[in-house]
Amino acid sequence: MTTQAYLQSWTEARTRFTNLLKDIKEEDLTKKLINTKNSAGFLIRHIADVELLFAKNVFGLSEIKVHAKTLISQHDTGEWINMKELLDYQQEASEQLKGIIEKQSDTDWEHVISTKEFGTKTKAEAMGRIISHTAYHAGQLSLTLKYG
């Protein structure tokens, strides 16, 4: 029951992001807000990078290979301009994270994990972090698309 509740919460919260994706055009990917450094394309890639890191490092999907380019570069390099690649990548990230969340037992949520990227927290706390992370950057993406 707990796992399903977390999964439903994450899925619903992620709609703040996914609802934006259906209207983005490839020419929107280079948009940035004034005095910011991250483009719409970077934000899409970043959300997916972090979801994959959560799947691997928080929830234990050890077989997944993650090359979190947005975290490595720590800034927009201008390479996030292919809409199909970004949409495919974010879909893969979503599916991987969803799949590993579904495998958590109800008692797994109280296990404490420590990662370089996210610090020490229970898996329940980590769910709050990934939900808020995606929503935070979805808000940035929305403003970038509207005013960038």
CATH classification of the domain holding 77: 1.20.120.450
User: Could you give the number of structural domains in the chain?
Assistant: 1
Contact 9, 127 (CB under 8 A): yes
Q: What is the dihedral of CA 104, 95, 52, 67, to 10 degrees?
A: 140
pLDDT in tens, 93-146: 999 999 999 999 999 999 999 988 778 999 999 999 999 999 999 999 999 999
Residue with tokens 């929107």: 28
- Kindly report the pTM of this predicted structure: 0.96
Gap between the terminal Cα atoms of the chain: 42
Contact 13, 51 (CB under 8 A): no
Task: Give the per-residue pLDDT at 11.
Answer: 97
The count of C-alpha atoms lying within 13 angstroms of the C-alpha of 120, restricted to the half-sphere facing its C-beta, is 1
| Structural domain boundaries, residue 140 | 2-147
Distance CA 29, CA 43 (A): 9
